[in-house]
Amino acid sequence: MKKLAAGNWKMNGTQASLAEVTALLEAHPDPACEMLLCPPATLIAAMAALARGTALMVGAQDCHPKPMGAHTGDISAAMLRDAGATHVIVGHSERRIDHGETSALVKAKAEAVVDAGLTAIVCIGETEAERDSGKTLAVIGTQLDASIPGGATAANLVVAYEPVWAIGTGRTPTLTEIAEVHSFLRGRLRGLIGAEAEGVRILYGGSVKPTNASDIFAVPHVDGALVGGASLKAADFGAIVAALSAA
């Protein structure tokens, strides 16, 4: 299995930000891991043009569950593919919380991604209150069961474990806590999709930085990272790519 360093630019970036992509590709033209950036939808086509013929893949941060129709402001998975995306993040906690997205909707979006021939990055994660009350595994197990697409395979599904309280806070779970969750998720995936589970990348996300990346990547069943803030700067994301390549 090739590991995956995925960056989520969230609602950040304009055409000028593409200079970071040029710098990233200059510094890391041929990493040993897969490298993906998910810019805002407005930058997908331009970033994909820049990435053509390079090791960089380009993804999106969300999609509509339907392939087309009267859905003002929304974008379908097929449209994202047409713009050059190969992956789509679905169920990020900022969408689950800010937009009230349920696991049922996340699953419908993930299935739309797969139907469009793309790879779904399905995000799950507990809140701080859920962790403090000992419910982490129950919460993420339920989210996983209800969010992954039917017909999931190692090729069309990536799972991102992102504790809500670790996103953008500079706080992370301990390495033991990350190990517990990732091993639990591998087992849960085996129950859901059988042998395909061995090849599904399970990413850790939440305050991954150049300074903690190597330690996190040494944890069993951590197959890469979903990186927010640190993916905006080529130097930081490149250092994370290098750490994953060396893991």
Chain residues binding ligand PEP by CB under 6 A are: 8, 162, 167-168, 205-208, 226-230
Residue of 28, 64, 87, 92 marked active site: 92
Using an 8 Å Cβ cutoff, are 111 and 88 in contact? Answer: no
Q: Which is nearer to ligand PEP, 31 or 224 (CB)?
A: 224
Interhelix angle 136-147/103-115, nearest 10 degrees: 40
What is the nearest approach in angstroms of ligand PEP to the Cβ of residue 89? 8
Q: Which is nearer to ligand PEP, 4 or 193 (CB)?
A: 4
Active site (annotated) includes residue 128:
no
What is the nearest approach in angstroms of ligand PEP to the Cβ of residue 244? 14
Locus of tokens 């085996």: 190
Q: Which is nearer to ligand PEP, 193 or 204 (CB)?
A: 204
What is the nearest approach in angstroms of ligand PEP to the Cβ of residue 146? 20
What is the nearest approach in angstroms of ligand PEP to the Cβ of residue 142? 20
Q: Which helix (H) or strand (E) holds 98?
A: helix 93-98
Q: Cα dihedral sign for 161, 244, 80, 22?
A: positive
Q: What angle do CA 220, 60, 2 make, to 5 degrees?
A: 30
Using an 8 Å Cβ cutoff, are 70 and 116 in contact? Answer: no
Strand partners, 201: 158
Tokens of 119: 């790879």
Residue of 94, 126, 130, 162 marked active site: 162
CA dist., res. 75 & res. 123, Å (int): 19
What is the nearest approach in angstroms of ligand PEP to the Cβ of residue 175? 17
Instruction: Give the end-to-end CA distance of the chain in Å, rounded to a whole number.
Output: 13
Tokens of 58: 């380009």
Amino acid identity, residue 10? K
Active site (annotated) includes residue 111:
no
Q: Which is nearer to ligand PEP, 199 or 210 (CB)?
A: 210
Using an 8 Å Cβ cutoff, are 93 and 101 in contact? Answer: no
Q: Which is nearer to ligand PEP, 224 or 229 (CB)?
A: 229
The catalytic residue positions are 92, 162
